[in-house]
Structure 1
Amino acid sequence: MSILNADLHSHSVVSDGTLTPEDLAARAAANGVELWSLTDHDEVAGQQRAAASAREAGMAYITGTEISVSFAGQTVHIVGLGFDPDDEALREGLQSIRDGRGPRAREIAAQLEKAGIPGAYEGALRYVRNPELVSRTHFARFLVECGACQDTGEVFRRFLVEGKPGFVPHRWAALRDAVGWITGAGGMAVIAHPARYRFTPNEEYALFSEFKAHGGSGVEVVTGSHTAAEYVQYAGMAREFGLAASRGSDFHSPQESHTDLGTLPWLPGGLTPVWELLEERIR
């Protein structure tokens, strides 16, 4: 079971993806995915639809979410896998994060208006299927639509990031809480795409150390935003910290994502895949 086309990181219209859970399942199955997880941001509302669609498409399924965490002044994402989606503490924790997104979105829009881009809040809402989850990605799609930028890559070079118009920090969950919600619901906590964070070596070591101390047990080694060298780097981190290795495209949209569902390289050798530790939770 170690060699498996598993894609354990993807997003639907329930958060900031552009496809429904049903269409994502069909796309994953068409691309040869054998084990799939829908990991919408701070939300589990799409889990039943995703699991049912995976079964219909002949894929194994495991529950998922991606929780936003504040650590060392940055936003870090922690993927939860194999949890009970009806767990009350997990649901309440995710709701608490979503409750902060609305005020943040209005602040982002106000900053963009000062930069000469009016109507951004209403424009972003046109891309939102879940009104509790207005995100920077929805604003980015509006900025492309209105002609302010050519594509979403340009958006995140010119807007919405630290030091640029539209950047509004948000106080997300604490690392301890996010890991606790996941493990308390019977799941496994995984550090998502670690190469994306702009940490110093000491800060990154602190992230992995605290994550492990709080009960975290996995890290994404092969993911859509990692290079081949970073696969090797984080395989080494997985071994050093005794973490299982995960694999996921972080797919959001056919038009925007660099890596399609199910098309990643295999995990490097000598690692314990997360799915080997989650066999009892796979549907």
Structure 2
Amino acid sequence: MIFDLHSHTNCSDGSLSPTELVNLAAEAGVDVLAITDHDSITAWQQLELRTAQPLQVIPALEFSTQWRKTGVHILGLNVDIHSEALQAGVRFQQHARRLRAERIAEKLQQAGFHDALAGATAVAGNDNLGRPHFAQHLVNIGAVNNFKQAFKKYLGAGKPGDIKQCWADIPQIVAWIRDAGGTAVLAHPVKYDLTRTKLVALVDDFIAAGGQGMEVVSGKQMPNITRDLAIICQQKQLLASCGSDFHQPGQPWAELGRFPALPEQCQPVWQHW
């Protein structure tokens, strides 16, 4: 069976509707899909209105937080969407996300870009604003040529639009997930540009906060990365997860269901459910 436990819809920063995503995942041969929109459960709420799905969909989401001034993400997998703890967490994060968007817009205005908040909101089509929406706005107005340039000049780490200090901390996020009966998983650990020593320190702090798992496979990645993450996962006795981190079609590094299998020594997170 193919488990893809990390994907996004247009309820956050993906391009497909929840129904379109589920149908595409089924066509790709995925058996179990987790929709992990950023600080949002809207996609799941939309799917609940349908009586049947072509595959098994796991209720989930991806929380934003910060560790030692580095933005990190934590997946809440197999959560009770109707849990008051989880819904309180979503409300907190959505408020923080709005404040963050306003601060990003202020920074961009100082850089000479007016009406950035309105532009990003128009791109998003919803209230779940993030840096990708501001990046697309900058592309749309001709300020930059592409996403990469937008992040390199204005929105990436250390740039004016890199606002992080709005989120709940790791222990609070893990508590929300676990109170909702879910499994707290550290998402795509190698994407944080940390040294291995700092990555292990992050993992240790995550475990101390009650974290239960780690993404050993995130999209197409080099075999040596998978092996090393599997070693850390096993040494720390964490559950192992895997996913594409799909956002939109046409990204070969993040195709639904197209990523390496978990190494044999890993204990898959779904065996915990």
TM over 0.5: yes
Give TM-score scaled by structure 2 length. 0.93
Aligned to 1:227, which of 204, 222, 225? Answer: 222
Which structure 1 residue ranges, 5 or more long, are not aligned? 279-283
Where in structure 1 do 4 or more consecutive aligned residues deviate above 6 Å? none
**1:90–1:184: structure 2 CA closer, same or farther, 3 Å change rule?**
same
Aligned to 1:30, which of 4, 19, 27? Answer: 27
| Partner SS, residue 42 of structure 2 | coil
- Specify the code of the residue in structure 1 equivalent to 2:248: S
- Specify the code of the residue in structure 1 equivalent to 2:117: Y
Which structure 2 residue ranges, 5 or more long, are not aligned? none
In structure 1, the residue matched to 2:111 is 115
| Partner SS, residue 253 of structure 2 | coil
In structure 2, the residue matched to 1:73 is 69
- Specify the code of the residue in structure 2 equivalent to 1:116: G
In structure 2, the residue matched to 1:281 is none
More displaced stretch, 223-232 vs 27-36: 223-232
**For 1:183-228, what per-residue CA distance to the aligned partner results, in whole angstroms no more than 9, with x for missing partners?**
1111111000000113344432222112223322111111127433
- Specify the code of the residue in structure 2 equivalent to 1:242: Q
CA contact (8 A) 2:9 2:37 kept: yes
How far off its partner does 1:52 sit? 6.5
How far off its partner does 1:51 sit? 5.8
Quick check: 1:11 aligned with 2:35? no
**For 1:226-277, what per-residue CA distance to the aligned partner results, in whole angstroms no more than 9, with x for missing partners?**
4332111111111010111111111112256731111112112211111121
Quick check: 1:92 aligned with 2:88? yes
CA contact (8 A) 1:36 1:54 kept: no
CA contact (8 A) 1:26 1:53 kept: no
Cα distance in 2, alignment partners of residues 250 and 205 from structure 1: 22
Cα distance in 2, alignment partners of residues 159 and 237 from structure 1: 34
| Partner SS, residue 245 of structure 1 | strand
In structure 1, the residue matched to 2:260 is 265
In structure 2, the residue matched to 1:162 is 157
How far off its partner does 1:48 sit? 3.5
Residues 107-256 of structure 1 mapped to structure 2, 5 A cutoff: 107-131=103-127, 133-224=128-219, 226-255=221-250
CA contact (8 A) 2:69 2:164 kept: no
- Specify the code of the residue in structure 1 equivalent to 2:34: S
Cα distance in 2, alignment partners of residues 227 and 78 from structure 1: 22
Cα distance in 1, alignment partners of residues 150 and 106 from structure 2: 16
CA contact (8 A) 1:100 1:170 kept: no
**1:258–1:43: structure 2 CA closer, same or farther, 3 Å change rule?**
same
How far off its partner does 1:140 sit? 1.1
Cα distance in 2, alignment partners of residues 183 and 127 from structure 1: 33
Cα distance in 2, alignment partners of residues 264 and 54 from structure 1: 30
How far off its partner does 1:170 sit? 2.7
- Specify the code of the residue in structure 2 equivalent to 1:214: A
Quick check: 1:104 aligned with 2:133? no
More displaced stretch, 14-23 vs 210-219: 210-219
How far off its partner does 1:119 sit? 2.5
CA contact (8 A) 1:69 1:78 kept: yes
**1:259–1:248: structure 2 CA closer, same or farther, 3 Å change rule?**
same
Q: Indicate the percent of aligned positions where both proteins have the same amino acid.
A: 38
